[in-house]
């Protein structure tokens, strides 16, 4: 999973921490992250060969966010 967040400077992006569960997952999973500000979040699902198989855009609010994918 590759996560991109807009409206946050590069320093904060480097320190952005996220988790996924359940792991492993077959059809659905959740991405949990704490955002310092409300932001657009782009989540890219990448296969074992490095190909992007899906891109999901979400709006996150300041604080803890759980995105169901």
Tell me what pLDDT residue 11 has. Answer: 37
Tell me what pLDDT residue 6 has. Answer: 52
Tell me what pLDDT residue 64 has. Answer: 93
**Cβ atoms of residues 54 and 45 within 8 Å:** yes
Instruction: Give the residue ranges of the chain where pLDDT is below 50.
Output: 8-11
CB count, 10 Å around CB of 35?
Answer: 19
Tell me what pLDDT residue 10 has. Answer: 45
What's the pTM? 0.71
Tell me what pLDDT residue 32 has. Answer: 92
Taking the C-alpha atoms of residue 53 and residue 45, their distance in angstroms, rounded to an integer, is 6
Tell me what pLDDT residue 2 has. Answer: 55
Tell me what pLDDT residue 66 has. Answer: 94
- Residue 48 CB-density burial (10 A; 0-12 exposed, 13-18 middle, 19+ buried): exposed
């Amino acid at each position: 999973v590759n996560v991109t967040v807009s409206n946050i400077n590069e320093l904060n992006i480097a320190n952005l921490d996220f988790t996924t569960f359940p792991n492993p997952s077959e059809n659905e999973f959740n991405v949990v992250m704490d955002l310092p500000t409300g932001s657009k979040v782009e989540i890219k699902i990448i296969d074992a060969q490095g190909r992007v198989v899906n891109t999901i855009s979400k709006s996150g609010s300041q604080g803890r966010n759980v995105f169901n994918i």
